[in-house]
Each structure stands twice: as C-alpha cells, then as structure tokens.
Amino acid sequence: MASRQPREYKHFRVSYPDKHIVQVTINRPDKLNCINKETSAEIAQVWDELDGDESLWVGIITGVGRAFCTGADLHEWNEMNRAGVVNSMAAPGLAGLPRRSGKKPIIAAVNGICMGGGFEMVANCDVVIAAASAIFSLPEVKRGIVPVAGCLPRLTRTLGLQRTMDLVLTGRTVEAKTLHDWGLVSRLVPAGQDVAQAAVEVAREMCRNSPDALIVGRLGVRMSWEYGNVEESVSALEHSWYPKLMAGANFAEGIRAFTEKRAPKWLDSKL
C-alpha cells in the first residue's frame, strides 16, 4: 500500500492514524464545528473513499476544540431561506452520515458539544466513544426546526420512545454518561484522556480481525436494527452475505490460523 499523506480542507482534515484507518477531524472551532454544504459534500467523499478502498477498513470522525459538531451552518441556512432555496434532507445527509448505509464501520469520537445535526450524525455511527465531559442535545424545537435528517427513528430504536421524546420535545442538554446509561454511547473516556486516540485504539482492535468479517458482521447488526422482522434479517444475511464471506480467502485463513495456533494473516477485503 502506498503511503498516504494527510489532507487539509478548509474546515476539516483527513489523516491516516494507522494503515487501515482513515480519520476526519472537523476543524472549525470558531463556529463550534458547524458544517456548511460544501464541507458536508467533501466529508461524504471521504466515506466513499473508505468504502471503495480495499486497504481502508475503519473510519473515525471527531472534532477540534470545545465541540464535536453543532450541526448545519444556520447562517448559511438563513441565506438560503432568504433566497428561497429549500435545504435538502436527502440521504446520506450532513457530512454523509445521518442516513448513510455504507459498507465499513465508522466510529464517532465525540470530544465536546454535540448538538443538532452533529447528534444526528452520531446517531447513525457504528460505535460512539465520548469524552466524559461531552454534552448532547437536539435543540431544533427551540428554533422552529425538527431533526428530520434521520435520527428520530434511529434514536427511538436505540433509546426507546419516551427517552427520545424527552430529548426531541424539550431540546434539553444531556451528559455523555446519561447517553452511555441509555445505550447510545459505547464507551466513556475519562477527563484528561484523548477521545480521538481512544477511538484509534478501538479501530486498531477492530483491524486485528478479518476485514470481511467486519463488513458482514456490521451489516448483520445494522439489518437487525433497520428491518422490522428479525427472521427476515437473519435469512437475508445467511442467503446473501454468508456465502460471500465463506468464499473469501480470509474465511479459510482464520480457521487455518486457529488450527495452526498462529495469528491470522488477513488480506484486504474483496467484498
């Protein structure tokens, strides 16, 4: 694999903290990392790179400064409203995340304030790691807006009806620990520790496993989350994806490595 160089964009940067990992760091701290339409499209292209590059297995998104992301740039929205332009909520949504289906896992490393569209992005990430000091809210109701980019059904599935209603209808702020207790935040990072680095360590842990299994395992979990019928999701995974997993070189390699009592030597996924 050719060495990759970090890339700087106007409001974010792309880095490669390990050979199979790509990280997006939102870098607009003066605006609490809100995302305008241009930046949103550029970040979405990074996730296309993740899914299309066989040597990339896991993605990470995080922020610089006090905020993870405070959602869309409402100053831009205001200008659009004045011009009579309707803002699209079509998939995959802000920064390519709220309605992304995708192929490979993305970890949200929530370093600080996570509001509005930022919360919608996190609600659809595969793993959420948050600083203990991070705070979350869906304040749209206070501005005459509703978070319709994808988080409402997803949060209802994850948190339950009443907890989601509480967040959406009050617009109140909750701590990372509350969302950890409710099941959205996978891991809490204590004060003084770097949440992005913690996410890299989790990504490295994932990358010690078969990249084929990462793709198919993630898909199986998401199908069970998205589908209304458990047996339907099990059958779809069994018939459509398990044969592809078995046909890949990594399936045989994992079993062979176990019998030979050695670490497996994974190949980049062809799925």
Quick one: which H or E segment has residue 18?
strand 12-18
Classify residue 47: in a domain, yes or no. yes
27: in domain: yes
Residue 2 lies in a domain: no
Tokens of 26: 């939102």
Q: What radius of gyration do the chain's Cα atoms show?
A: 19
Question: Each residue of 96-147: pLDDT tens digit?
Answer: 999 999 999 999 999 999 999 999 999 999 999 999 999 999 999 998 889 9
pLDDT digits (tens, 9 = 90+) for 229-257: 889 899 989 998 999 999 999 999 999 99
DSSP 89-131: --TT-GGG-TT---SS-EEEEE-SEEETHHHHHHHTSSEEEEE
Number of structural domains in the chain: 2
**Looking at the domain assignment, is residue 135 inside a domain?**
yes
pLDDT band at residue 223 using 50, 70 and 90 as cut-offs: very high
Tell whether 108 and 44 lie within a shared domain: yes
Asked if residues 105 and 126 have their Cβ atoms less than 8 Å apart, the reply is yes
Annotated catalytic residue, options 38, 54, 76, 120: 120
Active site residue 140: yes
The reply to whether 16 and 82 lie within a common domain is yes
- Residue 120 annotated among the catalytic residues of the structure: yes
Residue 201 lies in a domain: yes
* Percentage of the chain exceeding pLDDT 90: 81
154 plus 57 within the same structural domain? yes
Output the domain CATH number for residue 197: 3.90.226.10
Among 140, 201, 226, 260, the active-site one is 140
Give the confidence band of 27 by pLDDT, cuts at 50, 70, 90: very high
User: Residues 118, 202: one domain?
Assistant: yes
Return the structure tokens found at 28: 């607009």
pLDDT at 3: 60
Q: Are 122 and 219 in the same domain?
A: no
Name the band, by pLDDT with cuts 50, 70 and 90, for residue 77: low
Report, as an integer, the average pLDDT of 39-63: 97
Confidence of residue 86 (pLDDT cuts 50, 70, 90): low
CB 77 within 8 A of CB 87: yes
198 pLDDT above the threshold of 70: yes
Please tell me whether residues 194 and 219 are part of one structural domain.
no
For the whole model, what pTM was predicted?
Answer: 0.94
Residue 245: domain span:
211-259
| pLDDT of the residue at 1 | 44
Q: What is the mean pLDDT of the chain?
A: 93
